[in-house]
Amino acid sequence: MTTAARPKLDELLPDVRRALAPAERAIRSHRYLDALTAGRVPESPLRALAGEQFSIIWSDRRSFAHLAGRFPEAPAGDFFLSLAAGEGEALSRLGGFAAAVGLGEEELRACEPAPGAQAYKAFVAWLALNGSRADLALAFLANLDAWDANCGRMAEALRDLCGLDDEAVAFLDWDTLAEGL
């Protein structure tokens, strides 16, 4: 197939978004978010969330930096470097949330990640090592918009129902995707 005969991204994107719609809906309507927005999540799962995010953010930062090395040319290299920097910023903001749910830095570092909660970071790490450009585009297209939307829902619920302030939810308000684009 010649380059001229290949479909362009803007032609494929609507079809890909339609195909991913069920996964997008599933991510956006996760039962944890429903429970959180209904005020049915006690503090202990919020501490677990802080610990899981600490592990995920560190891993994603390394994965995005690796991707910048694998695909250094613009715009991919710049995009992945921006995502890695965004994860660094999210990590610095996570401390406010951890403190709000009763975790100091030492306790946060000592959190043992739950295997099921770490499947995402394992997949991103695998993609960073083995994924093609198409694999990466599809994976991020399927996940980042939904994750950003869920972060917004969580931040709002934690403010409204748990009384957390802006500093406590700053890592959820940090829009890594927008910063990377």
Look up the domain containing 170 and give its range: 43-180
- Rounded (10°) CA dihedral 56, 47, 110, 82: 30
pTM of the model: 0.83
pLDDT of 38 reads 86
Residue 95, in any domain of the structure: yes
Residue 169, in any domain of the structure: yes
pLDDT of 4 reads 55
Q: How confident is the model at residue 146 (pLDDT cuts 50, 70, 90)?
A: confident
Mean pLDDT of 158-177: 85
The H-assigned helical ranges of 101-132 are 105-110, 119-130
Say yes or no to pLDDT of 8 above 80.
no
Tokens of residue 167, six digits:
């500093």
Contact 83, 176 (CB under 8 A): yes
Output Rg (C-alpha) for the chain, integer angstroms.
Answer: 17
User: Average pLDDT of the chain?
Assistant: 86
Mean pLDDT of 88-103: 94
Which has the higher per-residue pLDDT, 106 or 117? Answer: 106
Residue 15, in any domain of the structure: no
Residue 34, in any domain of the structure: no
Residue 83, in any domain of the structure: yes
Residue 142, in any domain of the structure: yes
Contact 80, 67 (CB under 8 A): yes
Mean pLDDT of 5-20: 75
If one counts the domains in the chain, the total is 1
* pLDDT over 70, % of the chain: 91
Residue 17, in any domain of the structure: no
Contact 80, 65 (CB under 8 A): yes
Residue 70, in any domain of the structure: yes
